[in-house]
Amino acid sequence: MMTTGGFFYRQGFDIFRLNFRDHGDSHHLNEGLFNSSLIEETHRAAQNIADMQGNLPFFIVGFSLGGNFAMRMALRHGSHPIRNLRQVVAISPVLDPRKATDAMDRGLFVYRSYFVKKWKRSLRKKQSLFPRRYNFDFLMKCETLMEITDRILPRYSSYPTAEEYFRTYTLTGRRFIELSVPLLVLTAADDPIIPVEDFRELEGNHHLRVQVERYGGHCGFLQDYRLRSWSPDLIHDVLLRSGEAGRGGEIGIG
């Protein structure tokens, strides 16, 4: 996100980085917990940002889970328009959260350890800010993402099971038949978290473009030993072709 934001800033774009609840040191701003079903407030935030920019063309770029949100905002754009939205780009987006969660839990230890520790750290911070509402001590011995999910949902959400929760942000099959804005989805066949088969089965109209690279990992797409990614150049070309971009515009990155 930081690399892509810096790239487009140097190209003359205005950049807005949108943090979800409990992301980017925002825990104190909302007593409610983050969960991935919260598309309405995220979409409304994008609408507000676009409205502030007047007639500038507006673009949305999302990575991983942010890519999933970006794709859902593209779907909602038809019924809840975002002003001057010209293009949406999703990099290595989560399509089937159950599969992604299982892949992280069963894959390389480094992925599971990173996300489990990060989630626990976020929950501890939330509890310290709102101790009368939250007590996550019962989760601190959990060793997998699925275990935390199964235990936290019945107590602190409206979803009694993980299956019901995952359905709220699963993006597979024919979901994009009525897409009303150009959407580019970039993924890699060697992504260790997101199964590539789900991308090959996506169905949509002429607005949907799915690009599957042989190599790229999860949000990586490195081009040299200096660990530089080529994805910002691809995104830039796509935005310029989307029309009216010129050398500027507003990009929301999540």
Segment 183-226, tens digit of pLDDT: 999 999 999 999 899 898 899 999 999 999 999 999 999 998 88
Q: What tokens appear for 232 in the block?
A: 């910002």
Burial class of 109 by CB neighbour count within 10 A (0 to 12, 13 to 18, 19+): exposed
> What's the pLDDT score for residue 249?
55
Band (246; pLDDT cuts 50, 70, 90): very low
Quote the CA–CA distance of 72 and 44 in Å, as a whole number: 12
Q: Quick check: 250 pLDDT over 80? A: no
**Secondary structure E strands in 19-102:** 58-63, 85-91
What are the residue ranges spanned by the domains of the chain? 2-94+180-253, 100-166
Report helix, strand or coil for 95.
coil
Fold for the domain defined by 2-94+180-253: Rossmann fold (3.40.50)
Q: Which two tokens stand for residue 146?
A: 């699925």
Residue 186's pLDDT is 97
Q: Report pLDDT digits (tens) over 27-37.
A: 999 999 999 99
Q: How confident is the model at residue 86 (pLDDT cuts 50, 70, 90)?
A: very high
pTM of the model: 0.93
Our CA dihedral for 36, 200, 202, 220, rounded to 10 degrees, sits at: 40
For residue 220, which phi and psi values (nearest 5 degrees)? -90, -75
Residue 72 confidence (pLDDT) above 70: yes
Q: Which two tokens stand for residue 165?
A: 């929760």
